[in-house]
Amino acid sequence: MGQGQIGLHPIDINHLPKGSYFVKITDRNGSEVVGTLVKKQLKTVEN
């Protein structure tokens, strides 16, 4: 309560690319921001 929380949850690969995660962020006002985090976007491109 009164603090933002970030939850990282594995998601169904049938809905999003493999290796992606569903990201749910709740800010101090209780508003929720949802998005998709893809692992390969966190890494440098090797090819």
Between the two ends of the chain, the Cα-to-Cα distance in Å is 45
In the chain, where the domains are located: 5-42
DSSP per-residue codes, 1-47: --S-EEEEEE--TTTS-TTEEEEEEE-TTS-EEEEEEEGGGGS----
pLDDT one digit per residue (tens) for the chain, 47 residues: 455 555 555 544 455 555 556 566 666 666 666 555 555 555 555 54
Q: Is the pTM here over 0.85, yes or no?
A: no
